[in-house]
Amino acid sequence: MTQKQWIAGINAVAAAIANDAEHVREVLLEAGAKNPRLAEIESAARRAGIEVRRVPQQALDGVAGGLRHQGAAARYAAARTWGEHELPALVEAAEGRALILVLDGVQDPHNLGACLRSAAAAGATAVVIPKDKAVQINATVRKTSAGAADRVPVIAVTNLARALRDLKQLGVWLYGLAGEAAESFYGLDLRGNVALVLGGEAEGLRRLTRETCDALVRIPMPGADAAHGVESLNVSVAAGVTLFEAVRQRGA
């Protein structure tokens, strides 16, 4: 199914037009604004056959929902939402090279958006998130992801531990990232069906998630100093590091 929503901000609107124009229904631009990027957005939208309207700033404030719109907003119909029942078909279609990012309780929409951007760039098969106690796809996530939220399947699951067990049954190896783990992430073979499981900002991986993983590994950090609190990477940084190590091993 599709979802209609407003996205706001010059980069978000430009990315939506560039990457997924068929789902942009309308573009609103601030009347009288002199920013040359707004003119570029208008030209790109008109070339794509998208309706463009110049409106007062107050109208943009209303549809932006508190986001900084910079004089641009778009009414957007997201390409689709994905159900957890579709995950097996995605894994099968990857033909033994599925690359799945699992995020266990990420709360910050900017972090989720950044993770989706890395996942899309790495050609990930899917991103799996829990429906509860985690941020879902919203306007902030969509803006931060720069269009990636609609280029990679995002699957929100009711029970994350059960979904992980189902992935195991599909032949996917589950590797959880934990700072205290003894094994280095760089010792893994990431060329087959793998899921990279990362925890949320506050608590990391939850107990059931840890227990379901095939192995817990860490990203070596020579500059880490536990005494001064430098002992873990931001989840979006860790996602980028791990995803692109898989890309490197696969020779892409």
231 in the same domain as 136 = yes
- Residues 226-241 have pLDDT tens digits of 444 445 789 999 999 9
Q: For residue 56, give the nearest of 76, 24, 89, 33 by alpha carbon.
A: 33
Alpha-carbon span 176 to 185, nearest angstrom: 9
Bridge partner list, 76: 5, 24
145 in the same domain as 58 = no
110 in the same domain as 213 = yes
User: Which of these three, 77, 99, 126, is where a domain ends?
Assistant: 77
Q: Which band of pLDDT confidence, cut at 50, 70 and 90, is reported for residue 79?
A: low
- Residues 182-239 have pLDDT tens digits of 999 999 999 999 999 999 887 889 999 999 999 999 999 887 654 444 457 899 999 9
Phi, psi (degrees; rounded to nearest 5) at 129: -135, 155
Compare 228 and 163 and report the one with higher pLDDT.
163
Question: Is 219 within any annotated ligand binding site?
Answer: yes
Q: Which of 7-11, 166-170, 186-190, 225-229 has the lowest mean pLDDT?
A: 225-229
- For the segment 160-189, the average pLDDT, to the nearest whole number, is 95
CA angle 162, 188, 101 (to 5 degrees): 40
Read off the amino acid at residue 162: R
97 in the same domain as 72 = no
User: Which of these three, 61, 77, 93, is where a domain ends?
Assistant: 77
Task: Identify the CATH number of the domain in which residue 109 sits.
Answer: 3.40.1280.10
How confident is the model at residue 229, as a pLDDT?
47
193 in the same domain as 101 = yes
Question: Is 233 within any annotated ligand binding site?
Answer: yes
Task: Identify the CATH number of the domain in which residue 54 sits.
Answer: 3.30.1330.30
**% of the chain exceeding 70 in pLDDT:** 93
Where are the extended beta strands (E) located within the chain? Answer: 4-8, 24-30, 51-55, 72-77, 99-104, 126-130, 154-157, 173-177, 183-184, 194-199, 215-218
Q: Which band of pLDDT confidence, cut at 50, 70 and 90, is reported for residue 66?
A: confident
Question: Is 99 within any annotated ligand binding site?
Answer: no
96 in the same domain as 69 = no
| Three-state secondary-structure class, residue 22 | helix
Average pLDDT, the chain: 89
103 in the same domain as 212 = yes
Alpha-carbon span 16 to 105, nearest angstrom: 27
- For the segment 169-173, the average pLDDT, to the nearest whole number, is 97
How confident is the model at residue 230, as a pLDDT?
45
* Residue 90: pLDDT over 70: yes
35 in the same domain as 90 = no
Q: Which band of pLDDT confidence, cut at 50, 70 and 90, is reported for residue 78?
A: low
169 in the same domain as 59 = no
204 in the same domain as 221 = yes
- For the segment 22-26, the average pLDDT, to the nearest whole number, is 87
Question: Structural domain tally of the chain?
Answer: 2
The whole domain housing 113 covers 84-250
* Residue 143: pLDDT over 80: no
User: Which of these three, 77, 108, 137, is where a domain ends?
Assistant: 77
Compare 6 and 57 and report the one with higher pLDDT.
57
Q: Which of 41-50, 134-143, 178-187 has the lowest mean pLDDT?
A: 134-143
